[in-house]
Amino acid sequence: MKLGPWRRLAALAAAASLVTLIAAPALAQAPTPPTPNKGDTAWMLTASALVLLMTVPGLALFYGGLVRTKNMLSMLMQVFFTVCIICIIWVIYGYSLAFSEGGAFNAFVGGFSKAFLAGITPDTNADTFSHGVVIPEYVYICFQMTFAAITPAIIVGSMAERMKFSAIVLFIPLWATFVYFPIAHMVWYWAGPSATVQAAKALAAAAPDAKATAQAAVDAVAANAGLAFQWGAIDFAGGTVVHINSGIAGFMGALLVGKRVGFGREAMPPHSLTMTLVGAALLWVGWFGFNAGSALEANGTAALAMLNTFVATAAAALAWMLAEKFAKGKPSLLGGASGAVAGLVAVTPASGYAGPMGALVLGVLAGMACMFMCSAVKNAMGYDDALDVFGVHCIGGIIGAIGTGILAAPSLGGTGIFDYAAGKVADYDMTGQVITQAKTVCLTLVWSGVGAAILFTIVKALVGLRPGTDHEREGLDLVDHGERAYNY
Amino acid sequence: MKLVTAIIKPFKLEEVRSALTDLGLQGMTVTEVKGYGRQKGHTEIYRGAEYAVNFLPKVKIEVVVPSATVDKAVEAIIGSARTGQIGDGKIFVSAVDHAVRVRTGETDDSAI
């Protein structure tokens, strides 16, 4: 994000320091460009690796355990493939589409100015959320790459056990290109604190007759952001960008690919809840990188996000188990693991904004609501969202996104929203924020829902979505990959 | 010679084995099987989905005994495999015409 200004600034500062040395000690206050803090850099390197751990092996095992033995390997493969292809797309054009200035379409998507990571070196830096604090841009690219990788990997759970690998291979890059990168740009791209603060200072210092020019500069900086960011939407670690986005795409996939052969007539129990718990636990651990890493610095906000990621997850797991105890008579391990993931999803957008008690409430709500969606509502509607991507990620994400608008309020123990121009936490308008959050939820649902439906239709026309019935009965492991997950 | 086929609850296997060993029987063949009788199945719930599991895991023991010992063997299995709950299993006894020990070529009673 936003490196151009820094590089120019670096050149200016170098020139200024020469002048200072030679002629004018009084100018010693000329701003020097910030350098990355080693602690911040070390933490963000670690956080990036943790987020990869969420996907492989975390999500792969979580999903793999939930399918039947004959499809275990296909599940692992689909997630693993997704990570690999997204890493490549990301460095070629994905990062640029998500996090560069997009010209006329800047509200919706970035441009190609950073395609092939052009112009980025170990010395270029990216802004964090504090004025004057930066991290190396390469770390930022890695960190955001892991987000781009896990999001489409979440989708494949909806169509588990019945979508051809060739269809996955086509769909994943298309969806990342036309849905993920634009949504990430709309929600997360902005000019950064440095440009915002500089423009605001210039406005304050401007002579009365120059106020109009300075105000125009402030407006230009504010306008250099994605659509949802300009609305004022807050999404700390990706409730909309990652979870609502993938959840609704998965729902569309489940509808368009159709139900599994034998759905509702044959038993399709998970083949290994041991794997599923191992996967869920790895997701939880990796999620500390996801949420706390989204602070982009090793600071108190990161610590708040980490604490919230403990509290909401535990609360949601307990809430799901308790709801099951009352509804079905027995609390289940799968319920606990599902509840934990629902809590992680819901706290994602709120993790750096809500207080720990807010996160607790959010977790309880998410655990109960997602349990209701995955059992009562899904059974009543009869769709085959095989691994409950919609019920957990989309619904949990919506609860989190809306809940963030409420729980960020300082009156409820939240942090409020920092006003960079004023240099302090702004007055909090809860109603306005909830409306903004809801608008962003709708934007994501429509963009990703419609986008996924179109892309699945294209893929269906090109290679088809489903294997033949016999092949599906035999299992995707042998049919698509010529291997079995287990040979004993 | 008689073939005693007993289908029992898996966790009772060790007790049945030691009861038969106490009678002086020197071998048996064990298979993991699935099936149902009067117990029918049970219900499992995964997230919202309820499955009626009709075939329950059982262990099938096959042991060939001299005709004179067959009643004691059946009693030993009953005594060690019974829990009193539905699903304890069944015992079938059938005749065996001939037996050979592969290594030595011994036949019938001396082969078992």
ipTM of the complex: 0.72
Burial A330-354 (b: 16+ CB within 10 A, else e): ebbebbbbbbbbbbbbbbbbbbbbb
For residue A57, whether the previous peptide bond is cis, meaning omega lies within 30 degrees of 0, is yes
> How far away is chain A from the Cα of B48, in angstroms, using its nearest Cα?
4
Q: Categorise residue A258: left if φ over 0, alpha if ψ from -120 to 50, beta otherwise.
A: left
Name the residue among A257, A277, A160, A245 with its Cα closest to residue A465: A257
Return the pLDDT at A301: 97
Enumerate helices (H) and strands (E) in chain B, giving the number of each: 2, 6
A364: in domain: yes
- Torsion angle of alpha carbons B90, B94, B98, B104, nearest 10°? 20
Least CA distance to A266: which residue of chain B? Answer: B51
Question: Domain holding A438: CATH number?
Answer: 1.10.3430.10
Q: Is A334 on the interface with B (CB under 8 A)?
A: yes
A466: in domain: yes
* pLDDT tens readout for residues A345-381: 999 999 999 999 999 999 999 999 999 999 999 999 9
Return the pLDDT at B48: 78
Identify the structural domains of chain B with CATH numbers, from first to last: 2-111 (3.30.70.120)
Helix (H, G, I), strand (E, B), or coil: what is residue A455? helix
Q: Is A379 on the interface with B (CB under 8 A)?
A: yes
A142 vs A131: CA distance, rounded Å: 22
Two tokens at A474? 């035999």
Those residues whose C-beta lies under 8 Å from the C-beta of residue A131, and which sit 6 or more positions away, are A193, A194, A197, A420
| Preferred mutation among A328, A381, A390 to probe B, highest tally of B CBs within 10 A | A328
B85 vs A163: CA distance, rounded Å: 44
A423: in domain: yes
Number of domains in chain A: 1
B-chain CB neighbours of A335 within 8 Å are: 47
For chain A, which residues score pLDDT lower than 70? 1-31
Return the pLDDT at A9: 46
A132 vs A92: CA distance, rounded Å: 29
A368: in domain: yes
Q: Is A330 on the interface with B (CB under 8 A)?
A: yes
Q: Is A424 on the interface with B (CB under 8 A)?
A: no
Return the pLDDT at A29: 57
Return the pLDDT at A30: 57
Contact between A362 and A239 (Cβ < 8 Å): no
Q: Which residue has the higher pLDDT, B40 or A140?
A: A140
Which residue among A270, A330, A375 sits closest to B48, beta carbon to beta carbon? A375
pTM of the model: 0.88
Name the residue among A250, A41, A220 with its Cα closest to residue A126: A41
A-chain CB neighbours of B57 within 8 Å are: none
Two tokens at A65? 């355990």
Least CA distance to B54: which residue of chain A? Answer: A267
**Which range of residues forms the domain containing residue A269?**
46-109+142-190+225-481
CA end-to-end distance (rounded Å), chain B:
9
B2 vs B47: CA distance, rounded Å: 48
A218: in domain: no
| Preferred mutation among B43, B47, B56 to probe A, highest tally of A CBs within 10 A | B47
Return the pLDDT at A2: 45
A128 vs A140: CA distance, rounded Å: 9
DSSP E strands in A375-485: the ranges are: 418-419, 424-425
Return the pLDDT at A90: 98
A378 and B51: CB-CB below 8 Å? no
Least CA distance to A392: which residue of chain B? Answer: B47
Q: Is B45 on the interface with A (CB under 8 A)?
A: yes
Return the pLDDT at B53: 84
A176: in domain: yes
Bridge partners (DSSP) of residue A457 are none
Return the pLDDT at A21: 46
Q: Please report which confidence band the pLDDT of residue B18 belongs to, taking 50, 70 and 90 as the band edges.
A: very high
B20 vs A136: CA distance, rounded Å: 73
Name the residue among B104, B99, B103, B101 with its Cα closest to residue B1: B99
* pLDDT tens readout for residues B58-95: 999 999 999 999 999 999 999 999 999 888 999 999 99
A29: in domain: no
Q: Is A110 on the interface with B (CB under 8 A)?
A: no
